[in-house]
Amino acid sequence: MDFNSKPILFFMLSVFFLNLTGCNLFESNQVSNREITDASSWSEKDQNPRFSSCEGLESEEERNCFESVISMSIYNYIADQEWVVSQNIDAEVVLNLVVDQEGFISIKSLDASENVLEMIPNLETTLHEAVSMIPQAQAGVKTNVGILVATSFTLPIRIFAQEEN
């Protein structure tokens, strides 16, 4: 083999080697947005957050039990408050709650009219305290990937108060 053919041989071997090992560099492993949306959408197979006291119930009953524990916990806390109002109130506020990956429940936001917030100035603080008293839950599970997930939901609360005479 003469000296001039060595670079050509080296080049050809390099191209051959890259051909064998580099084919996967050109393959696309991208997942479409539709596939991501479908995989991350909540389905009936996924496990909602729950309390241990509600385990063993059917899916719908377990969800109702979960909601009942939260509602009663908040109601009991609010019922112990002595709010004094200057006029009658019959309004609805909406708590947007989050159960995080560890099962802790917190308020994401509160939807209440300015009128209600003015008549009950400590309403937001009281609701935060009430939610902090809710026992820790078991987080929701996205079963198709087996991970704990944060779950958001809303809780409407009817506030009815009469002014003292």
Task: Give the residue among 74, 80, 66, 140 at the shortest CA–CA distance from 107.
Answer: 74
Sheet holding 105-111, edge to edge: 105-111, 89-99, 151-161
pTM higher than 0.85: no
> What does the pLDDT read at residue 45?
74
- In the three-class reduction of DSSP (H, G, I as helix; E, B as strand; rest coil), residue 151 is classed as strand
Q: What is the domain partition of the chain in residue ranges? A: 5-36, 42-161
- In the three-class reduction of DSSP (H, G, I as helix; E, B as strand; rest coil), residue 67 is classed as helix
> What does the pLDDT read at residue 161?
78
Which single residue is written with the structure tokens 């004094």? Answer: 84
Contacts of 7 (CB under 8 A, 6+ apart): none
Average pLDDT by consecutive 10-residue portion of the chain (165 residues)? Answer: 59 60 57 66 76 88 92 92 83 94 95 90 93 94 84 90 72
Show contacts of 115-121: CB within 8 Å, 24+ apart.
Answer: 115/91, 116/89, 116/91, 116/159, 119/85, 119/86, 119/87, 119/89, 120/83, 120/85, 120/89, 120/159, 120/161
> What does the pLDDT read at residue 13?
65
> What does the pLDDT read at residue 40?
62
- Cα–Cα distance for residue pair 96/111, rounded to 1 Å: 8
